[in-house]
Structure 1
Amino acid sequence: MTWWLAYSGLGLFAGFFAGMLGIGGGLVMVPLLTMMFAAQAGFPPGEVLHLALGTSIATILFTSLSSLRTHHQHGAVLWKVVIQITPGILFGTLLGTKFASYVPAKPLALFFTVFVCFVAMQMILNLKPKASRELPGSGGVFAVGTGIGAVSALVAIGGGSLTVPFLTWCNVRVQNAIGTSAAIGFPIAVGGSLGYIYNGWGHIDLPAWSLGFVYLPALLWLVPSSMLIAPLGARLAHRLPVATLKRIFACVLIALAAKMMLSLFS
Structure 2
Amino acid sequence: MKIDVSLLLFSGIGILIGVLSSMFGFGGGFIVVPILFLFLPDSIPGDYLMHTAIGTSLAVMIINSFNSTLNHAKQGNVLWPVFKKFVGYIAIGSLIGGILAYFVDSNLLRIAFISMLSYVIISSLFKKTFTKTVDEASFQLPSISSSIAVGSSIGFISTMMGIGGSVMTIPYLRGRNMSMLHAVALATPLGLPIATVGAVTYLITGLQVEAMPASTIGFIYIPAFFGFIIGGFIGVPFGRKWAEKIPDQIYSKMYLILLFIVVVMMILG
Q: TM-score, normalised by structure 1?
A: 0.89
Tell me the CA shift for residue 8 of structure 1: 1.4
Find 2:146's aligned residue among 137, 140, 143. Answer: 140
Query: Which residue number corresponds to residue 20 of structure 1?
Result: 23
**Structure 2 CA distance for aligned equivalents of residues 58 and 75 of structure 1:** 26
1:88-127 alignment to 2 at 5 Å?
Answer: 88-121=89-122, 126=130
**Structure 2 CA distance for aligned equivalents of residues 258 and 179 of structure 1:** 29
Are the equivalent residues in 2 in contact too, given 1:196–1:214 (CA < 8 A)? yes
**Structure 1 CA distance for aligned equivalents of residues 26 and 116 of structure 2:** 13
**Structure 1 CA distance for aligned equivalents of residues 133 and 251 of structure 2:** 16
Equivalent AA in structure 2 for residue 5 of structure 1: L
Q: Deviations over 1:106-136 (max 9, x none)?
A: 1111101112223444666525499777332
**Structure 2 CA distance for aligned equivalents of residues 94 and 45 of structure 1:** 25
Query: Which residue number corresponds to residue 193 of structure 1?
Result: 199
Structure 1 gap ranges (5+): 261-266
Please tell me whether residue 239 in structure 1 is matched to residue 245 in structure 2: yes
Please tell me whether residue 222 in structure 1 is matched to residue 228 in structure 2: yes
**Structure 2 CA distance for aligned equivalents of residues 248 and 163 of structure 1:** 17
Are the equivalent residues in 2 in contact too, given 1:27–1:116 (CA < 8 A)? no
Query: Which residue number corresponds to residue 263 of structure 1?
Result: none
Q: Identify the range of structure 1 (244-253 vs 88-97) with the bigger mean alpha-carbon deviation.
A: 244-253
**Structure 2 CA distance for aligned equivalents of residues 129 and 161 of structure 1:** 20
Q: Deviations over 1:60-79 (max 9, x none)?
A: 00001111112112211111
Equivalent AA in structure 2 for residue 21 of structure 1: F
Structure 2 gap ranges (5+): none
Tell me the CA shift for residue 247 of structure 1: 4.1
Please tell me whether residue 60 in structure 1 is matched to residue 66 in structure 2: no
Are the equivalent residues in 1 in contact too, given 2:10–2:223 (CA < 8 A)? no
**Structure 2 CA distance for aligned equivalents of residues 123 and 242 of structure 1:** 14
Query: Which residue number corresponds to residue 254 of structure 1?
Result: 263
**Structure 2 CA distance for aligned equivalents of residues 225 and 85 of structure 1:** 29
Aligned to 2:244, the other structure's residue is in SS state coil
Q: Deviations over 1:40-87 (max 9, x none)?
A: 231111111100000001000000111111211221111122122111
Query: Which residue number corresponds to residue 3 of structure 1?
Result: 6
Are the equivalent residues in 2 in contact too, given 1:123–1:246 (CA < 8 A)? no
Q: TM-score, normalised by structure 2?
A: 0.88
Please tell me whether residue 154 in structure 1 is matched to residue 163 in structure 2: no
Q: Identify the range of structure 1 (132-141 vs 109-118) with the bigger mean alpha-carbon deviation.
A: 132-141
Pairwise CA RMSD of aligned residues?
A: 2.1
Are the equivalent residues in 1 in contact too, given 2:139–2:178 (CA < 8 A)? no
Aligned length in residues: 258
**Structure 1 CA distance for aligned equivalents of residues 253 and 202 of structure 2:** 34
Equivalent AA in structure 1 for residue 145 of structure 2: G
Rate the CA distance shift 1:147–1:256 in 2: closer, same or farther, 3 A.
same
Are the equivalent residues in 2 in contact too, given 1:18–1:230 (CA < 8 A)? yes
**Structure 1 CA distance for aligned equivalents of residues 92 and 148 of structure 2:** 9
Query: Which residue number corresponds to residue 35 of structure 1?
Result: 38
Tell me the CA shift for residue 153 of structure 1: 0.5
